[in-house]
Amino acid sequence: MKRFKSAKSAQRFLSTQSAIYNTFNVQRHLISRGTLRQFRSEAMRTWNLVTTAA
C-alpha cells in the first residue's frame, strides 16, 4: 500500500490498472509478429474509443 491513503483507494487503482494492463499485455513469445501487430492495433483502437468517450 505504498503511497496510498487507504486500502479502498489502492483497490480502486489496481482494478482499473489491471483492466488496462490486460488490454495491452500479450504473451509475445506465443504468437507471430503479424498477430501481435493486429492485437496491438485493436487494443489501441479500443483504448482510443474508451478514452474519447469519457
**For the whole model, what pTM was predicted?**
0.52
Which CA distances in Å does 3 have to 9, 44, 47?
A: 10, 29, 27
- Cα separation, 7 vs 51, whole angstroms: 26
Q: Which amino acid is at 5?
A: K
Q: Which residue has the higher pLDDT, 7 or 1?
A: 7
Q: Which residue has the higher pLDDT, 53 or 7?
A: 7
pLDDT in tens, 2-46: 788 888 888 888 888 888 887 777 777 788 889 888 988 988 898
Among left, alpha and beta (phi > 0; psi -120 to 50; other), residue 28 is: alpha
* C-alpha closest to that of 22 among 41, 43, 52: 43
Is the sign of the CA dihedral 26, 28, 34, 37 positive or negative? positive
